[in-house]
Amino acid sequence: MFKGPLPAEVNYRKFAGNSTKLEGTVPVSAFGRLKESIANDKGEVQAKLEFRRGKKQKTLIIGHISANLELVCQNCLEPFATGLESSFRWVLVVDEDALIALNSDDEGVICGEDSVNIVDLLEDELLVSLPMVAKHNEGECSFVAQHTDDDAIAAASSGESDIDTYQPFASLAELKNQFDRSE
């Protein structure tokens, strides 16, 4: 098995024919698109890739990536560390027609006739593995939750100053009291 820094561009036909396994790292700084979504480009991404011939002469890459990245919390705008992991099984195809012809459970990727840029593919995988909204875990964020405008308006109109004791049905009870008194 090859170990070390992963090459970017590989001849996947040759690798699949030899059932090549690669295990190595890619510096985070090599992922140009990912850099826009993270706090800094320190560290490395670990990847294991296995090239295989599948049924009907399909070329497969089966693999796993893991990375420790720093993201920017969308609540407090401070960086925080998080681990990303993803397993994948790609079917390499050379054009759109071949992509459409795949089984629905195959994850197809379009690449060149003989070579594929695995850094690009790993970057796509990392991008879809990022959380939708980057946030500290509960209790670890320095951001103090503010009351929303709706809460403030409700509190003002109900005469309550403390949101914690705000009872949405308090005004109903009040109405009932008025009704009772009028009897």
Q: What are 85's two structure tokens? A: 């992991």
Q: What are 24's two structure tokens? A: 């190595």
Distance CA 75, CA 143 (A): 6
Number of residues that bind Zn ion (CB under 5 A): 5
What track of x and - describes contact with Zn ion for positions 141 through 160 (by CB under 5 A)? x-------------------
Distance CA 92, CA 106 (A): 10
Q: Cβ(17)–Cβ(37) under 8 Å?
A: no
Pairing of β 21-27 and β 44-53: antiparallel
Alpha-carbon separation of residue 79 from 36, 72, 86, 125 (angstroms): 14, 4, 22, 22
Residues in the chain: 183
Point out which residues pair with 81 in neighbouring strands: 70
Tell me the closest approach of the beta carbon of residue 75 to Zn ion, in angstroms.
4
Q: Which is nearer to Zn ion, 39 or 62 (CB)?
A: 39
Tell me the closest approach of the beta carbon of residue 39 to Zn ion, in angstroms.
12
Tell me the closest approach of the beta carbon of residue 73 to Zn ion, in angstroms.
3
Among 62, 76, 84, 98, binds Zn ion (CB under 5 A): 76
Contact range with Zn ion by CB under 5 A, out of 90-98, 119-127, 140-148, 162-170? 140-148
What track of x and - describes contact with Zn ion for positions 97 through 136 (by CB under 5 A)? ---------------------------------------x
Contact range with Zn ion by CB under 5 A, out of 13-21, 24-32, 73-81, 154-162? 73-81
Give the binding site for Zn ion (CB under 5 A): 73, 75-76, 136, 141
